[in-house]
Structure 1
Amino acid sequence: MIVENVLSENYAEMLKVWENSVRATHDFITDEDIEFFKPIIIEHAFPAVTLRCVKNEFGAIIGFLGVHEQKIEMLFILNEARGQGVGKLLLSYAVNKLAATSVDVNEQNPQAVGFYQHVGFKVVSRSPLDDMGKPFPILHMKL
């Protein structure tokens, strides 16, 4: 597996990975929430970050990462590809190549919280609402 650059032509495929991952790991998010976030992600979030991806042997994106100003803004793995080292590879790339030292994680996603804690991130603060003002508590973590 190698980490590759992302082109804007990849956004639609990445949005499918995002939705697949969110449905598998964020059981607190509704279908309405997903539909609300989709245009924001593809139109605003993707263009605002440095994006990298990992593809499978067939050239399909199975995971991606977005970093902005040393903060991991997004890291999503296709559910079928979880547990195969894709997340670890992308996280290592974020820390070692993009100098990422912080991440915000949904408190209600204990697998993600544990993933980041396992590699040394610590919770430094908590917000009761997400950036959109929705009632999804966020843990602010730093290396």
Structure 2
Amino acid sequence: MRIRPSTVEDGARVVEIWRGAVHATHDFLTPADLAEIDAQVEEFLPKTPLLLAVSDEDRPVAFMGMTEHKVDALFIDPTLRGGGIGRLMIEHAATLYASLTVDVNEQNAQAVGFYERMGFVRTGRSDTDDQGRPYPLIHMRRGAAIEG
């Protein structure tokens, strides 16, 4: 398993990973919201620079999107969850930035627990997601406080 930047050729596989992971972990989304988010993801995700965890055959099995120190997205092929890939991705991110932040859907207890096991602490909560939908977010941080 290694980590590399995404390429245009990875786009379809990244969307496939996202869909599988969301169906496995985001059962709190309404069908209408899921359809709307899916359409947005299919449009922007293949064009977004990502870090990929890839198999020995260079097949993407997970991806992480970051904006500086913020983990914007971390999704793992659901057939490989629990195998240390998420830990590998977070440990890689920690080599890039001394402090990391992430916003996690409150209803996704597995993800909240994962980030807590990775050393993140809760720093706040929002009643809605970034698009104003009724999916509360837990704000988390790992490492020193981040300025600005």
Q: Distance in 2 between matches of 1:102 and 1:126?
A: 13
What's the counterpart of residue 28 of structure 1? Answer: 28
Q: Distance in 1 between matches of 2:44 and 2:99?
A: 20
Task: Identify which range, 36-45 or 133-142, moves more after superposition.
Answer: 36-45
TM-score for the superposition, normalised by structure 1: 0.90
Aligned amino acid, residue 66 of structure 1: G
Instruction: List aligned pairs for 1:24-63, cutoff 5 A.
Output: 24-44=24-44, 47=47, 50-63=49-62
- Residue 25 of structure 1 and its aligned partner are, at CA, apart by 0.8
Q: 1:92 to 1:110 in 2, by over 3 A?
A: same
Task: Identify which range, 106-115 or 33-42, moves more after superposition.
Answer: 33-42
What's the counterpart of residue 134 of structure 2? Answer: 135
Q: Does 1:85 align with 2:84?
A: yes
- Residue 99 of structure 1 and its aligned partner are, at CA, apart by 5.0
Secondary structure of 1:53's counterpart equals: strand
Task: Identify which range, 56-65 or 123-132, moves more after superposition.
Answer: 56-65
- Provide, for residues 77-114 of structure 1, a one-character-per-residue CA deviation record: whole Å limited to 9, x for no partner: 01101011111101111121255510000000111101
- Tell me if the contact between 2:50 and 2:66 (Cα under 8 Å) persists in the aligned partners: yes
Q: Does 1:71 align with 2:45?
A: no
Q: 1:41 to 1:80 in 2, by over 3 A?
A: same
Q: Does 1:103 align with 2:102?
A: yes
- Residue 54 of structure 1 and its aligned partner are, at CA, apart by 1.2
Q: CA RMSD in A?
A: 1.8
Q: Distance in 1 between matches of 2:91 and 2:46?
A: 20
Q: Distance in 2 between matches of 1:123 and 1:100?
A: 14
Unaligned ranges ≥5, structure 2? 143-148
What's the counterpart of residue 146 of structure 2? Answer: none
Identity of aligned residues (%): 37
Q: 1:93 to 1:14 in 2, by over 3 A?
A: same
Greater Cα radius of gyration, structure 1 or 2: 2
Poorly superposed stretches of 4+, deviation over 6 Å: none
Secondary structure of 1:84's counterpart equals: coil
Unaligned ranges ≥5, structure 1? none
